[in-house]
Structure 1
Amino acid sequence: MLMIRLARFGARKQPYYRVVVIEKRLARNGRSLEIVGTYNPRTNPATVDLKRERIEHWVGQGAQLSERVGKLLAKYPVSAPVAA
């Protein structure tokens, strides 16, 4: 089963996240099929860049959203880069 979820990157105590399409059984930072956005909670305000059309494509292919990615999509509905 495919999932759209966050993959953690960055240094210790300075995380940023990529929104990735990945097989559910693989590790959090495992090999992803596609990067469909980024999320940086450390900037003030947080920066979110989501490729809405690619997310809709993968959901149409049967991918499920993680809880956190679902919340990000609800909070930031714009597909262009947004400073939250």
Structure 2
Amino acid sequence: MPVKIRLQRHGKKGKAFFWIVAADSRSKRDGRFLEKLGIYNPNTNPATIDINVDHSVKWLQNGAQPTDTARAILSYKGVLLKKHLAEGVVKGALTEEQAEEKFQAWLQEKANAVDNKKSKLADAKAKAKAEALKAEKAVNEARTAAPVVEAEEAAEEVVAEANEEVVEAATETIEEAPAAVAEEATKEEE
């Protein structure tokens, strides 16, 4: 039976996550599998991968062929390195302790790289949030300053209009006064 290590899709549309499974290559993509080896969630940053390294190595040693994506995931998590080191132990190139020591050193280095990436992402997110807050404060200050300026301009316009009305009323009064005197004079003459 040709066995493949491949991804089995789960999750909803647009938010897929995958099980890493050992399955008969003739079965459907999401069909029956022989063993679940781990999970892969590409929706997080960095992607979340949880895999049983020992069982994956066992399947690879028994002849299971990983698909391209599964091979990349297995390589990223060190499964292929552990298989390579196990083959070296079988050939007598190194001892079991040396192989385990090399694998643990590689795991530690990889964990440091992932932690660095997570911290950089967290710093970038915090920086973006601070810049967004700063921009929002600037917009809010501009909004609050605009009504004050508009209110001052409106007050100046009201004062100017009031002055114009007073001047117009005064000129009307002055124009009406001689007309009233003239009317009184015509009434007296009659």
Instruction: Give the TM-score normalised by the residue count of structure 1.
Output: 0.87
TM alignment of 1:17-28, pairs within 5 A: 17-28=18-29
What runs of 5+ residues in structure 2 fail to find an aligned partner? 79-106, 115-190
Q: Partner letter of residue 43 of structure 1?
A: T
Which structure has more RCO (C-alpha within 8 Å, separation ≥ 6)? Answer: 1
1:68 and 2:75 are equivalent in the alignment: no
Report the equivalent of 1:49. Answer: 50
More helix by share: 2
Q: Matched residues in 2 for 1:60 and 1:74: separation?
A: 15
Report the equivalent of 1:36. Answer: 37
* Counterpart secondary structure, 2:26: coil
The alignment's C-alpha RMSD in Å is 1.4
Q: Matched residues in 1 for 2:58 and 2:21: separation?
A: 13
TM alignment of 1:69-84, pairs within 5 A: 69-77=70-78
Q: Give the number of aligned pairs.
A: 80
Report the equivalent of 2:6. Answer: 5
More strand by share: 1
Q: Matched residues in 2 for 1:63 and 1:38: separation?
A: 18
TM-superposed CA distance for 1:41, in Å, is 0.3
